[in-house]
Amino acid sequence: MKLNYYPDTDSLYIDLSEQPSAESREITEGVVLDHDAAGHLVGIDIDNASQKVELKQLTLSKLPLVVQTISA
């Protein structure tokens, strides 16, 4: 899973899978769910993200993962 924030457009993309998106559906204003060809959720696009989610803090709890930090 990857979280990508684009400050120039104030959008946050949560990439849940390496599969390409085949279909997108807006579920509420500015929130789009992307699905692959099999109908699995592969990503979430949030416009005006700074107004909808807390961007200054990310808390991970009990996830079996390796944390990688990439700075722009």
Within-domain flag for 68 = no
For 4, residues 6+ apart whose C-beta sits below 8 A from its C-beta are 12, 13, 14, 15
pLDDT value of residue 20: 95
Please give the tally of structural domains in the chain: 1
Within-domain flag for 60 = no
Nearest CA-CA partner of 37 in 16, 23, 57: 23
For 5, residues 6+ apart whose C-beta sits below 8 A from its C-beta are 11, 12, 49, 55
Nearest CA-CA partner of 43 in 53, 28, 32: 32
Q: What is the pLDDT along the chain (72 residues), one digit of tens a residue?
A: 899 999 999 999 999 999 999 999 999 999 999 999 999 999 999 999 999 999 988 887 888 877 777 766
Within-domain flag for 46 = yes
Within-domain flag for 30 = yes
pLDDT value of residue 29: 96
CA–CA separation, 5 and 71 (whole Å): 11
Q: The domain containing residue 43 runs over which residues?
A: 2-51
pLDDT value of residue 67: 76
Within-domain flag for 34 = yes
